[in-house]
Amino acid sequence: MSTFAEGAELAPVSTLPDAHIAPTEELRRQPKRKGGIGMTIVLTLVALLWISPLVLLVITALRPLSDFVANGPLAWPQEWTLQNFADAWGVGNFATTYRNSAFLLILKVPLGVLISAMLAFALAKLRLRFGTVIMFAVFLGLTIPIYITIVPVFVLLRSFGAVDSVPGLVGPYLAFGIPFEVLVLQSFFRQLPDELIEAAKMDGAGPWRIFFTLVLPLSTPALVTVFILDAVATWNEFLFALILLSSDAHKTIPVGLLNFQGQFANNNTGLAAGILIAVVPILIAYIFLQRWIVGGLTAGATKG
């Protein structure tokens, strides 16, 4: 039996009461909450405060030393010059120190990232008998201050004849760099779906093939992150290089910057120019790889 009376007609849709249903796109375009002009001003001031040392460094590098001494470090320069950079290249012996630092960068950083990635993958995805003990032993390296290891490392390297040798720095650099890299990488590897690894095992792939053909390609953001952070730490390391390297032919960039400090006078403008010369490669790397760095550091923060 029909629920409508015979002859009854349905009312046109246009005459029905308005029943507005928000479409999906309209829901997605809901206005975002704004922090207001106050928050904008605060963030602007913080940004200016954060970048002010770099601005001061650039201004100091572009002014003559006489102007710096006469007017003070915070005064606006009365003269400008590029001669500081030419002088700094010779005083800092950058032709040699750049070569030594680049050698350490090329040799140590890829090796450290590879070792850390293999160890992090084993701790995150493989069933190890003493995996927890190994993990805590590795992370214990993060708690050891570098200063208390200077004498033991020096004695050890001297027994191997590796003092005053650029390759001799690779071992200590690896020892202090691997724990942090493993911490970042194993956190990222834990987020990789176990189903992918199980499927690769069912296809006959072993741990080495899974690691090199599956895990590493999927871990590019984290690998780039630890690569850049390790490169910065290696490029800027000062204490080990100062203690273990004595001859000018083997010094790295941070140790070479000491040439600008004399017993009775300091070449502040030359030092500022030398610092800018030293940090240029790192700044370029950050500019082009910053999105990888942020993505790699935040990848292991949430699940899903």
Q: What is the pLDDT of residues 72-118, one digit of tens each?
A: 888 888 889 999 999 899 888 999 999 999 999 999 999 999 999 99
Predicted pLDDT at 139: 87
The whole-angstrom distance between residue 183's C-alpha and the CA centroid of its chain comes to 14
Cβ atoms 72, 85 nearer than 8 A: no
Q: Are 89 and 277 in contact (CB under 8 A)?
A: yes
Helix or strand or coil: residue 266? strand
| Residues 31/32/36/37 CA torsion (nearest 10 deg) | -80
Residue 304 has pLDDT above 50, yes or no: no
**pLDDT tens-digit series, residues 121-175:** 999 888 888 888 888 888 888 888 888 999 999 999 999 988 999 999 999 999 9
pTM: 0.77
Residue with tokens 């992370």: 139
Confidence of residue 235 (pLDDT cuts 50, 70, 90): very high
**Whole-angstrom Cα distance, residue 203 to residue 198?**
9
pLDDT digits (tens, 9 = 90+) for 27-67: 455 555 555 788 889 988 998 898 898 899 999 999 998 88
Q: Is 76 exposed, middle or buried (0-12, 13-18, 19+ CB in 10 A)?
A: exposed
Could you give the percent of the chain with pLDDT greater than 90?
A: 38
Nearest to 252 by CA among 91, 97, 94, 89: 97
Tell me which of 293 and 7 has the higher pLDDT.
293
At the top level of CATH, the class of 92-298 is mainly alpha
Average pLDDT in the chain: 83
| Nearest residue to 120 (alpha-carbon basis) of 26, 10, 209, 215 | 215
What amino acid occupies position 74?
Answer: L
CATH 1.10.3720.10 maps onto the chain at 92-298
